[in-house]
Amino acid sequence: MTTDDQTYAFKNALDAQGERLRTLETLFDPGTIRCLEARGVGPGWRCAEVGAGGGSIAAWLCHRVGPEGSVLATDLDTTVLRELAHPELEVRVHDLLTDELPKDEFDLVHLRLVLGWLGDPRSVLPRLIGALRPGGWIVAEEIDFVSAVADPRMEAEAAALFERVLHEHNAVLAAQHRFNPFYGRRVAGDLADAGLAEVGCEGRTTMWCGGEAGGRIWRLTLAQLRESMIAAGRMTASEIDEAMALCDNPRLSMLAPVVMAAWGRRGVA
């Protein structure tokens, strides 16, 4: 599979996608780190960060596991990851849909906003679970747009426009890239069905405002999807441009999509 025919909609090698990955990290790393700390990640752990994107969590894991531990960071496209330099880190080009992972190896396999892009995420769970040593943890964090609505204090016209853009974003990504914008609600159940023990989950959301990181993620996302959204024929270029301008304006305020963190443990035979 080449980076041109993959299901993932964004190209990590583009400057705008590098900035988009950094912005995702700004928004989501604090919650991810709390969740990983709660699983007990510490010195000497062997970790895999799958679909590592910009690599901030891979870098955090390197500091956390120290010289006795190791971190394997994988992605379809490692352009941004290759900028990282830590003695504990190995970076590997890897397609989770087709390529094997080391077996019985890791104390932790972490993924964030990856499974929802895979069409049938359940098909890769045996590979992820097989990569764990007995007792090791999977932590999978997936988005669910159920909560994504405009703040009722927004002007009605701007709120309606932004909610149309949200809906269109989900529709285009689902139709063209097999993205499931509501996978967050399924991920814990899928981990349990795949046979993991001690499965739990926790959802996180917040308010996103124009001119801040939450507005920026929308502007960077819409900039990359603009042409596909216009081609879908339900929104005009000027409507999309107006929504993008809102992203830099404090008039935009919305409840963010939920990030559902789910975890589970491979049983000790």
Ligand X SMILES: C[S@@+](CC[C@H](N)C(=O)[O-])C[C@H]1O[C@@H](n2cnc3c(N)ncnc32)[C@H](O)[C@@H]1O
CA nearest to 244, candidates 266, 220, 260, 268: 220
**Chain residue at closest Cβ approach to ligand X:** 53
Give least dist CB 25 to ligand X, A: 5
Pick the closer one to ligand X by CB: 114 or 261: 114
Pick the closer one to ligand X by CB: 158 or 260: 260
Give least dist CB 163 to ligand X, A: 22
Give least dist CB 11 to ligand X, A: 9
Give least dist CB 233 to ligand X, A: 26
CA nearest to 123, candidates 52, 51, 194, 195: 194
Q: Are 7 and 117 in contact (CB under 8 A)?
A: yes
Pairing status of strand 149-150 against strand 253-255: antiparallel
Pick the closer one to ligand X by CB: 21 or 247: 21
Pick the closer one to ligand X by CB: 54 or 159: 54
CA nearest to 138, candidates 125, 147, 151, 149: 125
Q: Are 139 and 210 in contact (CB under 8 A)?
A: no
By CB under 6 A, name the binding residues for ligand X. Answer: 8, 12, 21, 24-25, 51-54, 75-77, 94-97, 112-114, 117-118
Greatest Cα pair distance, the chain, in angstroms, is 59
Pick the closer one to ligand X by CB: 159 or 183: 183
CA nearest to 8, candidates 51, 55, 49: 51
Give least dist CB 22 to ligand X, A: 9
